[in-house]
Structure 1
Amino acid sequence: MNLKHLFFRKAIKVISQQRGRCLSHEPILYRKLSTTTFPLFTVHDLSPKTPKPSRYFHSDQKANHDVLSTKLVLDSNKIEDDDTTMNQFLSHFVWIMRGKLSDVYPDCDKKTIDSMLLIIVEKVVSEVEKGGFEQILGASSMDSSSHDLSDDLWKTVWEVSNKVLDEMQKARKKEKMKTFLQCEEVKEMYRFATEAGVCGDLLRELRFKWAREKMEEDEFYKGLERLKQEESQAEAEVDGDLVSEEKPKDISLPKRHGKINYKIYGLDLSDPTWAEVADKIHDTEEANWPQDPKPITGKCKLVTEKILSLKEDDDPSVPLAEWIELLQPNRADWMALLDKLKDKDASIHLKVGELVLDEESFQTNVTDYSKLVEVHSKANRLHDAERILKKMNEKGFQPDTRSFTTLVHTYSKAGNLERAKEAFESLRIQGFRPDVKIYNSMIMAYVNAGQPKMGESLLRELESRDLGQPLKEIYLLLLRSFSQIGDIVGSLRMSTAMQFAGFEPDLESCTLLVEAYSRYGNSDQARSNFDYMVKLGFKPDDRCTAAMITAYEKNNSLDKGLELLLELEKDGFEPGILTYSALVDWFGKLQLVNEVEAILSKISIMGEAPPFKVHVSLCDMYARSGSEKKALQALETVEAKYEQLSGYEFERIISGLINGGFNEDAKRMHGLMQARGFVASDKAKINWISVDAFSRKGSTSFF
């Protein structure tokens, strides 16, 4: 039975307005007392006319009864569902009152009890409408005959009300407790206690304790805030009354004569010059301070999505023009669009970024061009980077140091020495002091161009300017370059410079020195450096051993080469593919076909493909030995990769073919050699003429 419908419409409105005050954040204190003939407590007036709640406490010392302390908080916190809260209160209230009436009147039937409840509810509502809570509970000073209900019945009604409110308050606290159990501070303490080894019931009790303390702390501060607000309102009312009583007085400041001077640390800021400086600073801040992009809605949003969905081959100029017409963008809008495109598709981002450079609303500066040049350079797109640089010059922007630095790295990496030198000199002309990275890039460019001496001069310049310690890799790069061309003096110079720079010799530097002497043909010095490397504690590897075999080959010291291999095998060395390749080259020149084929079988057992150099040796050996089939097979392999041949290797193959009588094939290889830009040495030409003069009868002449 929904007893809410028993109330009059006006009573329901009054109760609904006041029910929030019964569900305060403050606790309700209640102690059961012995029965008296007068009300033991009063409640705040629940009428909306009462502006401030007041507290009353009544007791009878003659009856020697305990004191009942009750506090009903009237601070209203609006609840969304008023009907639900009221129904909850009424259902509990009617259920408890029905039980009490049934105990007092056991002979009455349900209909009679319902009638009693109806009378009670109607009477309570009528008193509430008249502001009767204080009047009813203050029965000690009132005539009980003025009421239709006895004082004991009123006492029972309000005891039941307090009990219902107490239960609702406990339910609310329980829900609030659940919230604080899940707060971050309690969780953090819970995790710490778990890591400390606390578990079981103790951990659970501690968590509830921390949550309860957190809830009490929250209620305490909220109570202080409410008291502060009440005091502020009271002071405002008092001040308003006082101000209305006092007559307004005219207050005026004394007239100041002369100019106001502002001095800070002896600096006179009242000078008009400082006002101009402040205006300039303000204008600069407005120009440099990042603006927020405009909100994109409607048709402009559809066009934006169309731009973001473009593919790499699509032309973005048409949707961009439509987007500009709809949005009228500023630089912030452009940057927001470019960021979205960068996350979506890098290729479209670069296309749109290049088109944006021509837009006035983008407010293009030098940095925008430099960024595009840098992106294209890092991706090895030199033509695109140069196109952006050309457009930059056409627009009247001079490339900055960032652009030239990027170009130096890019051209050096691509092996374009001339353009790298131009960018490097442009940096110097602009007064920029190149750093270590730029010097490293230029040294690499000289090394890639086969000019290690120019790279060495830059290294000396870098050391003299104290711009920083050059990397060990730069010394090794120059040492390797000198070693590859057989420059003994340059290799020794780089090795000494490394030691002066504080870099100790390692396996790589020692191997490069051995290779340098090997290419130069000085087997004794190569062996001396080889033994020094072993003395330093480095174990010779396959590459270093192959360099020693090559050195002995040039001096035709077969006995020393075989002796070295036997010594290394005693120390556990196993020849690798590089050592076997050096032996194939050596034995091929000696026309030891069986030994070469035995070594080739060992290479095949290793499961690795022989180096390209091996095919050059095989072609020369089989051609000289007259093995036409094998010679042509090796020649076919070499001819398929003629781009990898050096000038010396071309001369060796042609000489072997002429010696074997394969003049047509020799002519074809000579044509490939000229196509590569190599010119035969005089020694090779004399050899070819002499061999061709004594060629086999009936064979075609090479010349």
Structure 2
Amino acid sequence: MNLKHLISGKTINNLSKINGKSISYNPKKLSTIAAARSPPLYSLSSGQSSAFLRNRKPIFPFIRYIHSTQETKLSYTGVEAKLVSSDSEEEEDGTVNEFLSRFVWIMRGKLSDAYRDCNKETIDGMLLIIVGKVVEEMEKGGIQQMLDSAVAMPSQDFSEDLWRTVWEVSNMVLEDMEKARKKEKVKQFLQSEEVKEMCRFASEVGIHGDLLRELRFKWAIEKMEENDFYRSLERLRDEEQPKDGKTFDEQAVVAEDEQRVVSLPKRKGKLKYKIYGLDLSDPKWAEVADKIHEREAMVWPQEPKSLSGKCKLVMEKILSLKQEDDPSQILAEWIELLQPSRVDWISLLDRLEQQNPDIHLKVAELVLSEKSFQADIPDYRKLIDAYAKENRIEDAERILKMMVENGVMPDILTTTVLVHMYSKVGNLDRAKEAFESLRSYGFQPDMKLYNSMIMGYVNAGQPKLAESLMREMETRDIKPSEEIYMALLRSYAHSCDVIGAGRIAITMQFAGFQPTMESCSLLVEAYGQAGDSDQARSNFNNMIKLGHKPDDKCTASMIAAYEKKNLLDKALDLLLQLEKDGFEPGIATYTVLVDWLGKLQLVDEAEQLLGKIADLGEVPPLKVHVSLCDMYSRAGFERKALQALGVLEAKKDELGPHEFERTIHALIAGGFVKDARRIHGLMEARGFTASQQLNFALSVSQTHGPRRPTMG
């Protein structure tokens, strides 16, 4: 296409009106005019040209946009879009005129930023050269050809970074023109009959105002996209086969690779680098660079020595050591051969940690005493933390002792590791000591440290001290986690402290945590163990209202609450009501019922429930065997009582003081005095002390002598 058909003389003259002067367009004179006004553009300095290297997006769509505008124009009537041929010179001139006008406006700003010292006339000369080059490339065959040739063979007039700026600005202009074109298209679709009909229907159903306006634009855009989709299908059908035998996807990949081409601008002569007014080509900066390299040598890690020959064989032996092996001798041989520095030791430990973690900690502990290793606080702390994670408290304390003996005092991070370790294993005294040590340093505990200390108090059965720490967190605007609240609630519930449990439950709700199945069950358990069956039932009903379905454990807690008051009728009514709602009792509920019926000497009913437990395929818990021994002993069933007692003796390590006392009392009441004394001996062997009531019962049984029932 000839240039005079693409760009009219009027367009060039309009673009050339710079400084209020009209300059006629003549491509041959452009370089002469610019040479008199500005330095060559290929001499851009590093700092000045860096502004041209942002958002490098080539203008591939430009020639397609120009061609599509020349060939077709959309005229929308209703839903359909008709193609109208438009090859008039005015439209061609208007499209290119808009592109070049936008291009010059943006390019002027970029040149002004890069050349702040240049006056307006110099900038104008640069603009003339750039626009002239763009027009020249368009005259040769279009922007696409200009792009391809620019990537392969950069212009001798412009540097590569300047060309990329031209592409960037061109792409920006095309995007703005495309947005404007789409805006005009949407305006046409807003007036389509189908969109108007949809708006009328929306008004009839009560949609007005901003919502109707948004829907109208949404429907217009959808119609425009639908129309563009069908037009693209028609265009694909009419397009020729891909050239050079490549598919469209392959061509797109090649184009994407071309977009990513980045190269430094080509320069001539001696380089002078200027950054923020500093002339870095001055000799004084060489001295600065030498000093920087000296400092880097002090802080930059050295490379470990390369291993070869016998030293390499010894290294392989170290890596193949087993956990029970003693690595001291082979390490001494390795030290003699290599004469290692700290970086060599670190390399060895890293390889051991990856390839042989079983021997890693043992070697790491030996390395601490080596002078060439230069052990510091992080080395001791890392080993203490590794032992703490494996719950090897004695080993961790040994490293701590070694650390202090070598004159290295624990820092805040090491003390934090100790708090976590002692809290985890339940050594509350040492945890408190480490925690207070941190405070003496002025260190404010964080969320993890509070959590560890609170869990330490909870595990030690001291929920009140744990709650005081939680209140301290709240005063420091550290929000306790749900895990902390639940741990405190469990501790209060298991210790039958209904006041504390209720206080934590209310605090949780104020903190934004809604009641869960577990929290409601814990409240039922707390009130049940405290003997307040009414409050337990109130919380049980509240749980159901919240939408939580009672499980076997929660139901067992509710039945246990009725057991303490001996309200068997209410317990049975509750079970019948739950069974109507689909509840099926599990082993926890059956265990409570067996114990209750055993205390009432309802042997047949209790044995029926034992059959239910067997049907579940579950192993009866220890509490069931304690209940059976109590029931059969008091009922006088000797054989069954001794069978249950045999099971308890086999599991004597699992019995607590309460289970021992209940079993001994039951044996004495049933006349099994000799067996009661034997169980009392097992109780003392476990370190449990009998209560005064039990000692009195044993002494009375010795006076009256044994009585052996003959039933069962």
Match of 1:413 in 2: 424
Q: Which has the larger radius of gyration?
A: 1
How far 1:479 moved relative to its partner?
A: 1.0
Shift in CA distance, 666/201, structure 1 to aligned 2, threshold 3 Å: farther
How far 1:668 moved relative to its partner?
A: 2.3
Shift in CA distance, 560/358, structure 1 to aligned 2, threshold 3 Å: same
Match of 1:624 in 2: 634
Match of 2:406 in 1: 395
Residues 443-462 of structure 1 mapped to structure 2, 5 A cutoff: 443-462=454-473
How far 1:207 moved relative to its partner?
A: 5.7
Q: 2:334 aligns with which of 323, 339, 355?
A: 323
Match of 1:672 in 2: 682
Contact 1:507 1:533 in 2 (8 A): yes
Match of 2:528 in 1: 518
Q: 2:587 aligns with which of 577, 594, 612?
A: 577
How far 1:565 moved relative to its partner?
A: 0.6
Match of 1:435 in 2: 446
Distance of 1:336 and 1:536 partners within structure 2: 59
Aligned partner of 1:462: which letter? M
Distance of 2:629 and 2:657 partners within structure 1: 16
Aligned partner of 1:614: which letter? V
Distance of 2:695 and 2:468 partners within structure 1: 37
Match of 2:615 in 1: 605
Q: 1:539 aligns with which of 526, 549, 554?
A: 549
Query: 5+ unaligned residues in a row in structure 2: which ranges?
Result: 1-235, 270-275, 279-286
Contact 1:588 1:621 in 2 (8 A): yes
Q: 2:324 aligns with which of 304, 313, 330?
A: 313
Distance of 1:201 and 1:637 partners within structure 2: 88
Shift in CA distance, 213/304, structure 1 to aligned 2, threshold 3 Å: closer
The alignment partner of 2:687 has SS state of coil
Distance of 1:461 and 1:676 partners within structure 2: 40
Match of 2:299 in 1: 288
Q: 1:642 aligns with which of 629, 652, 666?
A: 652
Residues 167-566 of structure 1 mapped to structure 2, 5 A cutoff: 205-206=245-246, 285-466=296-477, 468-566=478-576
Match of 2:86 in 1: none
Query: 5+ unaligned residues in a row in structure 1: which ranges?
Result: 1-196, 236-262, 266-274
The alignment partner of 1:574 has SS state of coil
Distance of 2:352 and 2:398 partners within structure 1: 22
Match of 1:253 in 2: none
Distance of 2:322 and 2:244 partners within structure 1: 59
How far 1:305 moved relative to its partner?
A: 1.4
How far 1:312 moved relative to its partner?
A: 1.4
1:499-552, Cα deviation, whole Å (9 max, x unpaired): 122211111111101101111111111111111111222111111110111111
Deviates more, 1:505-514 or 1:431-440: 431-440
Distance of 1:471 and 1:585 partners within structure 2: 38
Contact 2:671 2:706 in 1 (8 A): yes
Contact 1:374 1:406 in 2 (8 A): yes
Contact 1:526 1:551 in 2 (8 A): yes
Contact 1:659 1:695 in 2 (8 A): no
Aligned partner of 1:388: which letter? I
Distance of 2:599 and 2:455 partners within structure 1: 36
1:569-596, Cα deviation, whole Å (9 max, x unpaired): 1111111110000000101111111111
Contact 2:673 2:707 in 1 (8 A): no
Compute the TM-score of the two structures, normalised by the length of structure 1: 0.60
Distance of 2:425 and 2:487 partners within structure 1: 16
Aligned partner of 1:513: which letter? L
How far 1:691 moved relative to its partner?
A: 6.3
How far 1:214 moved relative to its partner?
A: 7.6
The alignment partner of 1:502 has SS state of coil
Aligned partner of 2:433: which letter? E
1:672-701, Cα deviation, whole Å (9 max, x unpaired): 3233333333444455556666665589xx
Distance of 1:203 and 1:376 partners within structure 2: 68
Contact 1:510 1:533 in 2 (8 A): yes
The alignment partner of 1:293 has SS state of coil
Distance of 2:630 and 2:656 partners within structure 1: 15
How far 1:484 moved relative to its partner?
A: 0.9
Aligned partner of 1:579: which letter? T
Contact 1:659 1:691 in 2 (8 A): no
The alignment partner of 2:310 has SS state of helix
How far 1:402 moved relative to its partner?
A: 2.0
Shift in CA distance, 411/208, structure 1 to aligned 2, threshold 3 Å: closer
How far 1:643 moved relative to its partner?
A: 2.8
Match of 1:588 in 2: 598
How far 1:430 moved relative to its partner?
A: 2.3
1:303-353, Cα deviation, whole Å (9 max, x unpaired): 111211211122111121111111111111111111111111112111111
Compute the TM-score of the two structures, normalised by the length of structure 2: 0.59
The alignment partner of 2:496 has SS state of coil
Shift in CA distance, 383/446, structure 1 to aligned 2, threshold 3 Å: same
The alignment partner of 1:340 has SS state of helix
Shift in CA distance, 397/283, structure 1 to aligned 2, threshold 3 Å: farther
Match of 1:663 in 2: 673
Shift in CA distance, 286/669, structure 1 to aligned 2, threshold 3 Å: farther
The CA RMSD measured in Å over matched residues stands at 3.5
Shift in CA distance, 620/327, structure 1 to aligned 2, threshold 3 Å: same
Distance of 2:606 and 2:705 partners within structure 1: 26
How far 1:213 moved relative to its partner?
A: 12
